[in-house]
Amino acid sequence: MKYRHISKAVEEAIQYISDRREGKQLPLYTKKAKLNKAIDGFSWGRIYTLAGQSGAGKSITVEEIKRDLVDVNPNQIFDILSFEFEMIATDQIARNISGKTEKSVAELYSANQEYLDKETFDKVEEVTRELLSYPIYYVDEIGTVPEIRSTIYSFINEHNPNKDRGLIITIDHLLC
């Protein structure tokens, strides 16, 4: 690990402030006004942590944020690499569909043999067609830190060899 004198960090801070002031460094915003105000959008090159009790809604909040980042920032080009160590991507997609159709996941899965009507299923198909355009890539397999790092580098080399796209990485996991 490298160390550096405070003067280097000061130079970078001044440059970042200048770039933000001139609109050269744009953050990513969500549909959540309070969140945008609290952090002034998600800045590139930063790490954000969402923490809370089990069952508090962290996973669904991250899914909403991922959708928002794509929907609210159409002029910024980026991919999202989403490591799903707690819930498989299929169920995350069902949550996305749920959020856009206002139907619970249980309703979508026809729980208790309460089958979806044709109109609702047509809406589900419409939403899934929309989701296909999202630049989100899921990793369902649990891996070690070196495997995660290798996956990230492989993704960059395959999807962004010219480094002309932003990359957002999310890791959803459960600590036991």
Average pLDDT over residues 159-170: 91
| Residue of 13, 125, 27 whose CA lies nearest to 68 | 27
Distances (CA, A) of 11 to 14, 47, 61: 5, 20, 35
Q: Taking all residues of the chain, what is their mean pLDDT, rounded to a whole number? A: 90
Distance between alpha carbon 122 and the CA centroid of its chain, in Å?
26
CA pair distance 123, 100, nearest whole angstrom: 9
| pLDDT attached to residue 8 | 96
* pLDDT 10s digits, 139-156: 998 889 999 999 999 999
pTM more than 0.75: yes
Average pLDDT over residues 21-36: 94
- Residue that is written with structure tokens 């369902």 in the block: 140
- Residue 132 in this model has a pLDDT that exceeds 70: yes
CA pair distance 13, 6, nearest whole angstrom: 10
- Residue 176 in this model has a pLDDT that exceeds 60: no
* pLDDT 10s digits, 54-109: 788 888 889 889 989 999 999 999 999 999 988 889 988 998 898 888 888 888 99
| Residue of 106, 122, 123 whose CA lies nearest to 114 | 106
State which H helix or E strand residue 172 sits in: strand 166-172
CA atoms within 13 A on the CB side of 13: 5
Angle between helices 89-101 and 58-72 (to 10 degrees): 70
Average pLDDT over residues 121-148: 92
Average pLDDT over residues 161-170: 92
